Amino acid sequence: MRALPRWVRELVVVVLVVLLIRTFLVQAYNIPSGSMKPTLLVGDFILVNKLVYRLSEPQRGDLVVFKWPLNPNLDFIKRIIGMPGDIIEISDHKVFINGQELPLRFVERVEENGVAKLIYEESLPNGVKYRIALYETPLLPRKGVQQIHIPPGHYFVMGDNRDNSEDSRYWGLLPKENLVGKAFVIYFSGDIPPLDTTEVNLLTGFRQLFLAFLNPRLERIGKPLIW
């Protein structure tokens, strides 16, 4: 049998390296919805470290990609708020961890598609700070949570866009085994339309990236997501 041409051998090596990196180290994702505003916008393309939780434990405040417990075929991204052993309680927009309310500092009032939002800086007990968004006038009553004691191997996750996020308030705690990895940087960003959950697949991902290249947001490229 004749030896394979050099370019074929090199291509095979490149494909194998890419597959190994994607499987074990880093994977790219795009943000299809506004559930993480103002931290992440629709059209942000992020890199996720898939190795980190093999070597260390998740930390409070991490932005994590995970398999949605109600449908493991779908990947979600949220922020870890509650850790194993914590007692979580939520009343209106106030979050309590082990009886202590998370401090909120008002930042600004913004309008988005004619809807007024209030931006706050929220602080976690470990010192991690980030911004959340709340409707000035909620369209629906805010989802409350009675006291939940988080068992070992589980986490309470929330979106930063608190009035527009399907998270642990609605479907429960996140098992550790569902974690895919930790988001650490925005590698590209563009102004593109949002997607419904059912539209998220490989082909629409390529379409979104193409549209993002046509409408880039250069100021967001390279923004770190690690606190």
Question: Annotated catalytic sites, by residue?
Answer: 35, 78
> Measuring CA to CA, which residue among 74, 107, 23, 66 is closest to residue 204?
74
Q: Which two tokens stand for residue 191?
A: 């102004």
The DSSP line for 47-68 is EEESSHHHHS---TT-EEEEE-
Report whether 69 contacts 172 (CB < 8 A).
yes
Instruction: Strands of 143-191 (E only): list them.
Output: 145-149, 154-158, 174-175, 179-189
> In this structure, how many other beta carbons lie within 10 angstroms of the beta carbon of residue 187?
15
**Tokens encoding 139:** 């369209």
Q: What is the CA radius of gyration of the chain?
A: 19
Beta bridge partners of 183: 48
Among 153, 179, 223, 161, smallest CA distance to 33 is for 161
- The span from the CA of 83 to the CA of 61, in Å, is 10
